[in-house]
Amino acid sequence: MNWKSRIDKTHLPEHVAVIMDGNGRWAKQQGKPRVFGHRNGVKAVRNTAEAAAELGIQWLTLYAFSKENWRRPKKEVGALMGLLVDTLGKEVKTLNENNIRLQAIGDLDLMPDRNRKALIRGMEDTRTNTGMTLILALNYSARWEIAEAAKKLTKQALLGEISPEDITEDRMAAALTTTGVPDPSLLIRTSGEKRISNFLLWQIAYAELYFIETLWPDFSKEDFYQAIVEYQSRERRFGKISEQLTT
C-alpha cells in the first residue's frame, strides 16, 4: 500500500520521537554479531530522517544511546561509539543537502571526547539550516533529566532567585534538556517491544504511542508513513470529550 498518498499534510505531528529497537535481534537472525545490526541500522536512520523532512515534520528525536546502554558488553559499546563518529562524519553532507539541523540531548559531558567533538562539529556545521531539526538522544535518561531539572530549580530557590511556589509545570519543562522544543505528538517504537525505556517521560505525557513489529534495520520510509497515517486516525482529546472537540 502507498501509505504516503494517504497522509494529510495539514495534520502532521509537529514532533516525532523514535525508540530505535531491534538491531541486535536483526543481526542474530542474519547469524552475525550485534554490531552488524547497529551498522545496518544507520540506513533506517537515514530513511526516517529523509521521510520526516520530506513530509514537512519540524522535529525528529531519535533515541540513539541511553545511560543504561553502558552496561552492555564493552566491545559492543566501543563499536557503537565508533559508529557514531563515523556516521556523523559521513552524514553531515546529507543533513545539509536536506536543510536539516542537528541537535543533541543527554549527559553529553560524559560522552567519550572523540564522540563529543564529532557531535559538536556536526551541530556546528548544520546550525544555520532552517528545515527539520534532528535531535539525537545520547547518554540520555529521562529520570536523569528530570532529576537534573529538579536540582537546577532547587539551586535557584536556595539562592532566592525563585520561590518554591514559582516551580510550575512550565518552569519545570523549561529546565529540561528539551527546553524550546515542542513535546512529541507521536512516539514510535520498533521491534514489537511495548515499553518506553526511560525515554522523554515528561515530554510524552500526551503523545500517541505506536508500536511496530519491524526490527529497526528493516524500518523503511513506508513504515514511517504508515505510523503517520495511524496517528492521523486517532482522536487527540487532551482530557476533553469528543463532543468538546467539535464545538
Q: Which residues are tagged catalytic?
A: 21, 69
The whole-angstrom separation of Cα 49 and Cα 54 is: 9
CB-CB contact of 206 with 213 (8 Å): no
Question: What phi, psi does 168 have (nearest 5°)?
Answer: -105, 175
Interacting residues of 223 by C-beta distance below 8 A, sequence separation 6+ = 212, 214
Beta partners for 199? none
Q: Which three cell numbers stand for residue 166?
A: 514559582
Q: Cα dihedral sign for 36, 40, 42, 48?
A: negative
Cα 11 to chain centroid distance, Å, stands at 20
Q: How far is CA 123 from CA 189, 206, 225, in A?
A: 25, 29, 27
